[in-house]
Amino acid sequence: MPRPQSRPFRQGASQFSFQENLVFEKTYYATHPDMMDGVSNEELRDRYLVGGLFRDGEIVLTYSHGERFIIGGAVPGASILPLPVQTEPDSAAGHSLLERRELSVVNIGRAVGVVTVDGERHELASRDALYVPMGSGTVTFEGEGARFYLLSVPAHRAFPLRRLTLADATPMERGSLETSNARQIYQLILPHVCQSASLCLGMTILEPGSVWNTMPPHVHERRSEIYLYFDLEGDDRVFHYMGKPEALRHIVMENEEAVISPPWSVHMGSGTRAYSFIWAMAGENLDYNDMDVKDICQLR
């Protein structure tokens, strides 16, 4: 079967992406904590920052070797965008991308969007999420003004498809305005809300005037995590901290950019204004509390 025309790597694609992949725009390799020593800002961004996911009329997928996360975005505009099928290896070519994977979709746009899974239409209002099980076939995205954030990880079992809304979730109130970290943590894909094989996902919304997230920070050796920052204005930035707690580094992030947190890294940030972020994890278990919280005085 003829292979689809491959896409050239966009500017700024990793210097380490030596193997061109037909479905994924960029591959993020797993990294060793020693690789933080003396790393330049550009290398740091190349290894962990996932930008350019939301391009008008396109679906953009990237691949991380950490938990084999697919991290992507779909902005349909006037078109209907299909989730691509697998192209490699030959034994999988033409099969659904979700043959052995589960998928989450969150509409971070302001308008309603529609995700159609095997012919069934699911309307996602702004901030709604959809859990799409392993074994699903065709998935398409549509809706002018909708912006879909996509995450997928390997699964061993199919759980029911679910639409999840913030209104149905009971947020955890954390932090305070006095410490500039008052925020609501919405758990959306976790066992007590929505079953999944490996994926956990939620949304955290900071109160106006609060800028710090996940402070004090934590690490979780048994899971990787992906943060997507959004609800920022044009010139606003989040200063995202990563690395081992005693050797922090930061990445300056813009609206609608994601960042990979390896299992050995903290993940926390401070913004130039309040913002929201979607956090997603996968790995050894689905226990949200399987984390090792650090004291602020342990940070260096």
Ligand X SMILES: O=C[C@H](O)[C@@H](O)CC(=O)C(=O)O
Q: How far apart are CA 36 and CA 226, in angstroms?
A: 18
| Nearest to ligand X of 152, 214 (CB atom) | 214
Residue nearest to Zn ion according to CB distances in the complex: 225
Residue 69 near which of Zn ion, ligand X, none (CB within 5-8 Å, type-dependent): none
The site map against ligand X for 198-227 (x = CB under 6 A) is ----x-x--------xx----------x--
Annotated binding site: 218, 220, 225, 267
List, as residue ranges, the binding site for Zn(2+): 218, 220, 225, 267
Size, binding site for ligand X by CB under 6 A: 11
- Contact pick of 183, 237, 240, 294 for ligand X (by CB under 6 A): 183
In angstroms, give the least distance from the CB of 251 to ligand X: 16
Query: Contact between 279 and ligand X (CB under 6 A)?
Result: yes
Question: In angstroms, what is the minimal distance from the CB of 198 to ligand X?
Answer: 14
Residues interacting with ligand X, by CB under 6 A? 183, 185, 202, 204, 213-214, 225, 267, 279, 281, 291
Residues interacting with Zn ion, by CB under 5 A? 225
